[in-house]
A and B are shown apart, each in its own frame.
Chain A
Amino acid sequence: MKTHDLIDVLSLDDTPANVQWMQRRVGPAVLLAALLCLLIAETLWSVRSDMQEAVLLAAFWFKLGFAVSLALIAAWALPSAARPVGLHIQRVWYLLLPVVVIWVRAVGVLLDAPAADLPTLVYGQTWQKCSLLIVALALPLLVASLWACKEAAPSKPRLTGFVLGVLSGAIAASIYSLHCVEMSAFFIGIWYALGILVTGLLGLFLGGRVLRW
């Protein structure tokens, strides 16, 4: 086919462009998947029984804040990453901010605590399953968000996949944090962060395959 003819065909396809696809497609897909994850988590573990006391503790809010802020930053970076130009692609670096904050907090706690407490602070009671459960809980979110971004045109598909993975992992971690009794900033900074990072890497791997266009 001649380029000239192709242009004729293209100019005849006047199906309205799907503007606001971020808000209309990616947003609802992620919200629905998050709801599903909340249901799964609620069915499997149910919200921690001492929630009323927990909400009075700063440590609880550091934990929830860590996960929620990572999700918000990823969502903020996503529209740039998922488009051809990516004007604000450097926003991805802000993902490091919550990690730094939680580690500063962890070191602060350590200075006040006897050194013998360190293993308890790091391992808690559930370190063996924490990261794994976050990754597992994030899978529906990752699948939904990758599907929703199929129409995107990222010039860096793997980076976009990574942002989607962190978004999914962080939402899953936010939900998981309501059901998990660990409170130490060390625990969050290691095992929560690891779960989110693994989901991010999974997204990176899948993005390089699914999001190419």
Chain B
Amino acid sequence: MVSKQSTEPRSKLEEELSNLFLLGMKGEKQEYKHFLNVLSKYLRGYFYKKMQSAPDFVEDLVQEVLIAVHNKRHTYEPQEPLTPWLHAIAKYKYVDFLRAKKNEHLNDSLDDSQELWVEEIPQAFESHTDLTLLMSDLPESHRVAIELTKINGLSVKDAAQMSGLSESAIKVGVHRGLKKLATLIRKSHENT
């Protein structure tokens, strides 16, 4: 009964998310942003349920998975369903987080049943490790590019004008900065 109820909306969700994601891959920024927003709500619900003993890490993991999905988007095969791919990334990051923390009591159950799509939580939690702190370890140009574009989603053009950097320098800075940031996040798990 329960499974029947949950497969129907899931296929609708699959359709919605993969439409948005594929448009995003073609450069439609609004659709991509919408996709990341929807995904972040499900991620929050998923990690909140899994880590009730450490809720202050929920938002960290949400952010880490968003960055991972973005950085690894080339590993998605368009002819395959998107939701299992997203679920696999969320699960991998969760397992990796537990491994780094070596904290067994955080571990409730490891699922293969796509629990990710069960619950949405729209409002963000406080994050434990602030990304802004980690960003201080990025090279200056990468950090500036990310800092500027995050201000109300400042466009690349505006960010270039404000900083005196070229537009391509901003783009490269954001792109490479996000890759480096993913590494810094992983290291931070091992140190805190």
Contact = CB atoms under 8 A, between A and B. Distances in A.
Interface of A: 1-15, 17-19, 21, 82-87, 151-153, 155, 212-213
Interface of B: 24-25, 27, 29-30, 32-33, 36-37, 40, 59, 62-63, 66-68, 70, 72-75, 77, 80, 84-85, 88-89, 91-92, 96, 124, 127, 130-132, 135, 146, 149-153, 155-156, 171-172, 174-175, 178, 182, 186
Nearest to B131: A1
A2 B153 contact: no
B75 A152 contact: yes
B67 A12 contact: no
A3 B88 contact: no
A7 B96 CA distance: 22
B149 A153 contact: no
Contact of B131 (A4, A6, A82): A6
Contacts, number: 109
Among B75, B85, B175, find the residue whose CB has the most chain A CB atoms closer than 10 A. Answer: B75
Contacts of B37: 7
B149 A14 contact: no
Contact of A17 (B25, B63, B150): B25
Contact of A213 (B68, B153, B156): B68
A79 B126 CA distance: 38
Contacts of A82: 75
A4 B149 contact: no
A121 B67 CA distance: 56
Contacts of A12: 29, 149, 153, 155-156, 174
Q: Determine the main DSSP class of B at the interface with A.
A: helix
Contacts of B91: 155
A179 to B, nearest CB: 37
B36 A10 contact: yes
Contacts of A2: 124
B178 A13 contact: yes
A4 B131 CA distance: 12
Given A19-B74, A84-B72, A10 B66 contact: yes
A11 B38 CA distance: 13
Contacts of B132: 1
A51 B182 CA distance: 52
